[in-house]
Amino acid sequence: MSDVLVVDCVGKAYGERKVLTAASLHCAGGAITALLGRNGAGKSTLLEIAAGWIAADYGLIQFKGERYPRPRLHELATRGVFYLPDHDLLSNAFTIRRHLEIVQRRFGAGSIDDVASITGIANRLDQRPRELSGGELRRAELAVALLRAPECLLADEPYRGIAPHDAETLSHTFRRLASAGCAVVVTGHEVPTLLDAADHIVWCTAGTTYDLGTPADACAEWRFQREYLGSP
Amino acid sequence: MIAPDPLVTRALLRRGAFLWVGTRVLFGFASLLTAGVFGSPSIGVAPHTAIGLACLVGVLGLLEARRRNEHLFLANLGVSQWPIWLISVLPALLGECLIALAIQW
């Protein structure tokens, strides 16, 4: 599996506070990478930098072999990146169906009925985002991502506040995207769900990242166990 | 520069028109309040003021798009913030041109 997106040695500070000092992320096509770490460790910042939503202070970002000194989301999006933020991707000005139609017209792929059926929102298509529950909204956002069929999906805390059944749907959708060759990166604190869904674990701590390998390898790593999982 | 979907463009144009009307009303009130300093208020404004008002409406349109989370959705579609600003400005520019023409007649 080749790396679709490479974030190499990036740093980011907010004023005096250094959130990331030397963080890296290698996103392989066809694999689900889980980015784990404590609150405030810099997971979301790293994902936002990878997506081109915020600028890093230094470091390198490479997408499909091309280097981006100052990547912007709208540039990366045209080449295949889709960034799913931790909240509020969809606008209340449009129904879910309208959002999906906009994506379909823009990228000309997929079927709205198919993605609505896969994500279980077929009966919610004519409602606006504010009328949906948290789980339904997350699935609707994922339906948009699925319809886009990106080459790299960066999902920030997709499982937050989601019921187990909805989490299962989300995991299946991520796996479906990965099976199509997409590099999927997810963050979160839902450790059992993420370890179950991911092929690869990256630990974000103290401003840097550690590539821990498979979930089994990660669970066997004593420092990760002691400092993040908290298990004996 | 990629233009937004026609559906989004229509929504932005409609919003731009409302924002322009609101900005114009506020500008009218401000002119009334400062009539003693700047002279009697009038519907017509100098060209540079009209352009300034249109630019302000564009910025307000951009902020409103951010408030409604449309900028992130549009960025995921490859649309930068410039088209959002530009589309928000159009109704204001059109309105200012119409006012200028009406005053000349």
pLDDT digits over A111-154, tens only? 999 999 999 999 999 999 999 998 899 999 999 999 999 999 99
Cross-chain residue pair A148–B76, CB shorter than 8 Å: yes
pLDDT at B29: 86
Q: Which DSSP helix (H) or strand (E) runs through B18? A: helix B6-33
- Spatial distance between the Cα atoms of A213 and A195, rounded to a whole number of angstroms: 11
- Spatial distance between the Cα atoms of A10 and A162, rounded to a whole number of angstroms: 31
- Spatial distance between the Cα atoms of A145 and A170, rounded to a whole number of angstroms: 11
Cross-chain residue pair A89–B7, CB shorter than 8 Å: no
B75 touches chain A (CB under 8 A): yes
Mutate to test the interface with A, among B8, B9, B73 (most CBs of A within 10 A): B73
The CA angle B86-B88-B90, to the nearest 5 degrees, is 70
| ipTM score for this prediction | 0.92
A29 φ/ψ angles, rounded to the nearest 5 degrees: -65, 140
DSSP state of B2: P
B78 touches chain A (CB under 8 A): yes
pTM for the structure as a whole: 0.92
B21 touches chain A (CB under 8 A): no
pLDDT at A231: 61
Percent of chain A with pLDDT over 90: 85
- Spatial distance between the Cα atoms of B5 and A42, rounded to a whole number of angstroms: 34
Mutate to test the interface with A, among B68, B76, B82, B85 (most CBs of A within 10 A): B76
Count of CA atoms in the C-beta half-sphere (13 A) of A226? 3
Residue B54 lies in a domain: yes
- Cβ–Cβ under 8 Å, residues A67 and A5: no
Could you tell me the CA-to-CA distances from B39 to A89, B20, B31 in Å, in that order? 48, 23, 9
List of chain B residues with pLDDT < 50: none
User: How many structural domains is chain B composed of?
Assistant: 1
B1 touches chain A (CB under 8 A): no
Cross-chain residue pair A92–B75, CB shorter than 8 Å: no
Q: Is the pLDDT of residue A232 over 60?
A: no
Of B2, B68, B75, the CB nearest to A73: B75
Residue B44 lies in a domain: yes
Q: Which of A151, A225, A136, A230 has the alpha carbon at shortest distance from A185?
A: A151
Residue B53 lies in a domain: yes
Residue B1 lies in a domain: no
Residue B35 lies in a domain: yes
Domains in chain A (CATH in brackets) are: 3-229 (3.40.50.300)
